[in-house]
Amino acid sequence: MNRLEERIRDFLAINLSIIESDLTIVRKEYKLPNSFGSSGSIDILAKDSLGHYVIIEIKRSDQAARAALHELTKYVALLRSSLGVPAEKIRTLLVSTDWKELAVPFSDYLKTSEVPTAGYIITTTGAGEIVNCSKFSPIAMDAGLSISRQQSLILYTDATKRNRGIDTIIKAATRSQLSDFVTLTADYNGGNSQVIYPYGIYFGFSSPISNPESEESKRIMQALDWDEDLDDLEENFLCALMDNISGHDTVEIGYPEKLKLMEESEWSIAVVARNGRYQKNIDLMPDDQLISEFTKTEGGATYYLYETSSPKYLPSWDKFKNDLFLVLMGSDAWVAFFKALINELEADSSTPTISIQLYNPANILLGLSKIFGENDFRYLPSFQLVVSGEKQTTIYLGELAWDGVGTHVNFDEWIKNSYDSTEHYFIMHAFGEQYLQEDLACAGLGLQHVVYKIISPGKANESVFLSSPKDGAVISRQFHESDLFTMQDFCKSHAAFGRSLVNAVKSLSMGFIK
């Protein structure tokens, strides 16, 4: 938490009536510990006049919107588990000065939250004093409107040619069976001479196919000569789009991380055309918020998923499962685990609420490059899953672990066995296909995608297990620290391998490692 947020928290802790008149403080920075890395600290825990415990979370400026919502779900689960507070005696409040990124995901979150939840918009002084507070009104967006993970960047050498291309792309999108789409311009304003194409059109859309079995969906698929073999079927729309445009200099795959990086690398991004429901919803979602939706990595990319859902809400549950398995591509072990776990959750008559924070870049070469080159462990896959049932709270943690074997791995042999060559890896990376070799590359280093199961987190009888799928079910055995080694252990034992990796990456790329 930064200093301003600390001041807001401290001011709010002694002025809770600004939010709701009947709140009394229980504790500031209320810790919800457990012994295995999924602890939490509630900014302010209060009680209301009806005896509800009220979790008050102040959104951190460096925290993604959906990550903040996952934290709320986790705090509810840990409060229930560690203190035995029933769900009907808990409420949550989310307080933030900035709702640009929060508005849409929070509005969705309200539909599935297992406890009453409200949001508050605050204005503060530099000292953290709250001078204005109003309740957030959820956005009632048209159902099914969501920017696809499949995006495209069409590039040009000069602005005139790019500007002529805008109408061409809009017409091509319509011919590609799309009605809800957005066209952005991207202009490079920096001084890097290696940027050959400084003018771009960035294209994104909301898929018109919600039910593949409907007659309208079948008509669309027939019109596009639908290819069922694509990893993400929504790629069909971009393939059709590219068949209908010309006059551009080059095309690159688009995705939220790329647009976010462009924003941070002296590219100016602007909305130039909104079509269909994106135009209809312009009052609910102005241009700056729409760009923010494009650049959201959580839940908006094939690498991230931050979501709260439950089997009792079938449409959102089905979407959650589809999004989940897209992000899990590259890890057969986690795919099998989640298939087995979902079977259990759907058979549970209590229809538990689940919240997941998942990051899976499926790019172990990049992850190890960042570790050995910059001591940055953030590019390794991980997940945190909170399952809140009527009688029990369970937390699952996923991460890479090392089996402790093979401390003298030869880098050249590993590259050849995993990707044929470093050059071929970069070709696969350019087309987003490096995930196809992920399990093979990890196995060559003795790395495993493991899952830890924590039962009754925060209680005296908290237990930690290793979980894995077997015959379509999840089996668990007691975890012992001697079972597996951490990634830190792996790196300490593979210094020579790390040096060779970093040297190879630096010789063939610019920007991978600083």
pLDDT at 223: 92
Question: Position of tokens 């990890």?
Answer: 442
Query: Helix H segments across 176-286?
Result: 215-223, 235-243, 256-264, 277-280
Look at residue 143 and tell me whether its pLDDT is greater than 70.
no
- Which of 61-75, 243-257, 343-357 is predicted least confidently? 61-75
Q: What is the pLDDT of residues 326-352, one digit of tens each?
A: 899 999 999 999 999 999 999 988 888
pLDDT at 392: 80
Burial environment of residue 91 by CB neighbours within 10 A (0 to 12, 13 to 18, 19 or more) = buried
pLDDT at 498: 95
pLDDT at 205: 94
- Which of 315-319, 421-425, 487-491 is predicted least confidently? 315-319
pLDDT band at 300 (very low <50, low <70, confident <90, very high): very low
pLDDT at 477: 93
Look at residue 487 and tell me whether its pLDDT is greater than 80.
yes
Do strands 199-205 and 181-188 pair parallel, antiparallel, or not at all (unpaired)?
A: antiparallel
State CA 7 to chain mean position distance: 29
pLDDT band at 59 (very low <50, low <70, confident <90, very high): confident
Q: How many CB atoms lie within 10 A of CB 289?
A: 15
One-letter amino acid for residue 513 of the chain: I
pLDDT band at 175 (very low <50, low <70, confident <90, very high): very high
For residues 204-229, give the mean pLDDT.
Answer: 88
pLDDT band at 224 (very low <50, low <70, confident <90, very high): very high
Look at residue 135 and tell me whether its pLDDT is greater than 90.
yes
Give the residue extent of every domain in the chain: 3-135, 151-283, 304-508
pLDDT at 62: 53
Do strands 90-96 and 40-47 pair parallel, antiparallel, or not at all (unpaired)?
A: unpaired
More confidently predicted of 388 and 492? 492
User: What is the rounded CA–CA span in Å between residue 331 and residue 440?
Assistant: 10
pLDDT band at 140 (very low <50, low <70, confident <90, very high): low
pLDDT band at 35 (very low <50, low <70, confident <90, very high): low
pLDDT at 1: 56
Strand order in the sheet with 151-156: 250-254, 151-156, 199-205, 181-188, 267-275
Percent over 70 (pLDDT), the chain? 94
Bridge partners (DSSP) listed for residue 186: 200, 269
User: What is the rounded CA–CA span in Å between residue 394 and residue 399?
Assistant: 17
pLDDT band at 299 (very low <50, low <70, confident <90, very high): very low
Look at residue 38 and tell me whether its pLDDT is greater than 70.
no
pLDDT at 502: 94
For residues 493-509, give the mean pLDDT.
Answer: 91
pLDDT band at 166 (very low <50, low <70, confident <90, very high): very high
Look at residue 314 and tell me whether its pLDDT is greater than 70.
yes
pLDDT band at 139 (very low <50, low <70, confident <90, very high): confident
The mean predicted confidence, pLDDT, of the chain is 88
Look at residue 169 and tell me whether its pLDDT is greater than 60.
yes
For residues 401-424, give the mean pLDDT.
Answer: 92
- Which of 17-26, 132-141, 446-455, 462-471 is predicted least confidently? 132-141
| Whether the model pTM is above 0.95 | no
- Helix or strand or coil: residue 207? coil
Overall size of the chain counted in residues: 514
User: What is the rounded CA–CA span in Å between residue 145 and residue 108?
Assistant: 12
More confidently predicted of 335 and 143? 335
User: What is the rounded CA–CA span in Å between residue 83 and residue 89?
Assistant: 12
- Which of 5-9, 54-58, 297-301, 328-332 is predicted least confidently? 297-301
Bridge partners (DSSP) listed for residue 400: 449
Query: Helix H segments across 375-494?
Result: 411-419, 422-430, 438-443, 487-493
- Which of 37-41, 219-223, 273-277, 281-285 is predicted least confidently? 37-41
Do strands 382-388 and 353-359 pair parallel, antiparallel, or not at all (unpaired)?
A: antiparallel
| CATH number of the domain located at residue range(s) 3-135 in this protein | 3.40.1350.10
- Which of 171-180, 422-431, 432-441 is predicted least confidently? 422-431
Q: Do 490 and 402 meet the contact criterion of CB atoms below 8 Å apart?
A: yes
Name the range with the highest mean pLDDT among 60-69, 315-324, 426-435, 488-497. 488-497
